[in-house]
Structure formats: C-alpha cells, structure tokens
Structure 1
C-alpha cells in the first residue's frame, strides 16, 4: 500500500480536482461504494451537465492525452456516459489540431436503418476507450470485445479519476490490485487518467478554505485503509 501522504504535484490534475469540486461533481460526506465501502468522497461525472462544464472537462481529457504521447486512431465511447465523453473529447482534440474520428455503441442492436450495435466512424486501427472511471473493469472488457469484433485494436483507456483503491472479487474479498492495475496488467491496455486520489489529497492538504481542508483527514484515512 502506498502512503496516505501524496508525493507528487501535478498542476493539470490539481486544476481538474478544483474544477470538479466547484462544479459539484466531486462531493464530500459519506457515500456507499459499489464494493460496500463507506467513502468520504464521491465523483459523479454525470453532473458535468451543461455545455460550459462539459467543454472544460473535454479540455482536461484532451490536454492529458496529448501530454501522454499515447498514439491512437479513434475514440470509442461505451454507452452511456462514454458516448458524451468521446464526442466532447473529439471536438476538443480537433480544436487543438488533433482531429480524430469517434464511435460508440448502443445498449441494444438496431434492426432498422443502418442497424448494428456500433454508431459513428468505422472502428479500425488503434482504438482508445473514453470513460469516466474504471470500477471493476467490466465495461472495459465489454468494449474490448466490441472493438475486436469490429476489427479494431484496443490500445488504451482514458478516464477522469483513478480512485487508487483495491478492487474486490466476485465474493466481495479485497484483491491486491486496483481496477486500473487490472486493466494495465491483465488486459494489457494503457490507462491515462486526468487525476488520481493522490492528486485529490494534494488539493485538500493545501486548501486555504477550512471547509475544504477538513476533508483531508478522512480521505487520507480512506486511502490508508483501501489504497494500493
């Protein structure tokens, strides 16, 4: 397990954390996670719910992807949140001089019109999956299957926040790796995240606003208990 004390400063990530707090997307309190843990924070990307917030979010994704140097030919947005994210990131990348096609999937195959499960550009070449978080890797595995079936090659996943906590198995037992580590080691895909839990702790630990700074201790304790 890593120390609860953050060890790096990433200006882009910290700006993203501050933006997420201001937008009400990153909230503090007591939240029950899918794994049954009581988390002192909750990140809900569905609350990037207007044009201004979505545009800023896409800017963070695009800048992180460009800085990462990851090479890809197409953006793929898994339904449902990934659809909006992939489209918004494609627009921002084009604005920055990196025009990329994008595609997404339907939850159910369409039996009229163009039909099929996939919509958008042909899925070919190196395909980057765009989503908000990686919780258990299930959505990533489903995306990989669709991309492979269409003739593309999955090359990575771009997410907004890496929670950096241990995943749980089907029986609820804690695993020695995180969902992101599972994707990188077992599925052999690069993962690019705008920010991590360590970045969140950096912001909280140095916050001048006492109302924000008071969340540093419970978030650090959660990192110590469940972190990787």
Structure 2
C-alpha cells in the first residue's frame, strides 16, 4: 500500500472517523464499520484532509474546471481541497457547493460559489451504492450544460450498486467519468491484516464483503 494511503487510514482511525461496530447505513445495509468525515472538525484536521484530496486529484491526473462539494459533508471538504490545491500544487480552481433546499430570497438558487461548467470534479466523503452522487449528477445535468470529469471520495466501500455491478462502475459507465478514492475498503483490510489486535474487526469486514462487496 502507498504510504500516503496508510497515513490516511491512521489519521481516520485516530480521529475515530473510521469506526468499527454495528451500523445501519442509508442504503439499508447493516455494516460492521462506518466512516464519518464530520469528525474531521478542527482547522488542523480539515487542512490535512484537503491535502489528501488535493494529492489524490493531482496523482490521478484528472482534468477539471470547477470543484463541486455535495451538501453537507462535501462543503468543508471542497473548500479545504481548493485551498490545498493552490497552496501545495499552485493550482487555482474555483469551487461551489449546493444547498439541500433552494433559497427563495436574497441571491436565491441552490448553488453557492462559482457557476458550474464543463469538467466538474464532484467531491464527497464516501461511496456505498452511489445514490447521493447519482441524484446530484441528475440535478446538475437537468439545469446546466455540463459534463462530469470525476468523482472523488475519501473512501470507496467497494460495494455492489443497485444491480450486479459495483457502484463505482455504474457511475463511471453512466456518466463517462472517473471515480477516485483516497482509500478503498481493501486498503483498510490490508492495513488491519498487519495489526494483531484488529483480527475480530478484520473477520467482520471480510464477511461483510462476501455479502455486499465487489469481486475486484
């Protein structure tokens, strides 16, 4: 595993962003682990998180004209990512994010920040079955003449989508874009396999993947 991926796993465990237990997911699945990026809530945390996202974007060599953070957890992440891209890579990309509800007064509308245009990089925290991302892309395409360049998340759970394909493959195929993650669940499993006191959690993760995980 690449060192920066290991560093991100350690960072997530230390901040209790990556937790093990029994969790009910939005998809209805019962999971032995949960990733809550909302626990990256200090200036130091979010600055470090933005640097991981910026590194993943640069390393993947994707082209984008605007960063788009999905409400709510994607809002601080997209801000931190734009800052990190400028600070560490001298890349000055505009960004925007959405409201859950359309504002009917003041400036109005649903978007805050830069206007959406072609080659959007969508930023969120986790992908499970991809429902939130699919809904967001649908709304974007309904109102804007745009194209999605990539979707980037902290964690790809590497699970089946609504059919027999992986959630990632469904999104990549439907929207002709790349889906990039800082880490995926296989990275986590590889990391846990080196930790003697994590055997119980490792067994539960492997069992869960047998039921819902992709073959690759």
**TM norm structure 1:** 0.86
* 2: CA distance, partners of 1:111 / 1:32: 34
CA RMSD in angstroms comes to: 1.7
SS in 2 for 1:41: strand
CA separation of 1:164/1:224 partners in 2, compared to 1, >3 Å: closer, same or farther? Answer: same
- Does residue 144 in structure 1 map to residue 137 in structure 2? yes
Which digits, 9 at most, give the CA deviation of each residue in 1:56-76, with x for residues without a partner?
Answer: 111111101100000001000
Structure-1 separation of matches of 2:160 and 2:127: 12
Question: Relative CO higher for 1 or 2, CA cutoff 8 Å, sep ≥ 6?
Answer: 1
Change (3 A) 1:220 1:137: closer
Give the drift of 1:188.
2.1
Between stretches 57-66 and 151-160, larger displacement belongs to 151-160
Partner Cα distance (1:13, 1:50) in 2: 21
Is residue 165 of structure 1 aligned with residue 151 of structure 2? no
Aligned to 2:185: 197
Q: Is the 8 A contact 2:129 2:160 kept in 1?
A: no
CA separation of 1:141/1:226 partners in 2, compared to 1, >3 Å: closer, same or farther?
closer
Determine if the alignment matches structure 1 residue 80 to structure 2 residue 79: no
Corresponding residue number in structure 1 for 2:46: 54
More helix by share: 2
Deviation at 1:182, TM superposition (A): 1.2
* Structure 1 alignment gaps of length 5 or more: 1-8, 170-174
Aligned residues: 212
SS of the equivalent of 1:70 reads coil
Q: Distance in 2 between matches of 1:36 and 1:79?
A: 21
- For 1:215 and 1:140, locate their aligned partners in 2 and report how far apart those are by CA, in whole Å: 28
Distance, in Å, in 1 between the alignment partners of 2:70 and 2:149 is 15
CA distance in 1, matches of 2:110, 2:33: 35
CA contact (8 A) 2:128 2:156 kept: no
**Residues 85-164 of structure 1: matches in 2 within 5 Å?**
85-96=77-88, 97-148=90-141, 149-164=143-158
> In 2, distance between residues paired with 1:36 and 1:121?
35
What secondary structure sits across from 2:67 in the alignment? strand
For 2:211 and 2:114, the matched residues in 1 are separated by: 44
Shift in Å at residue 213 of structure 1? 4.2
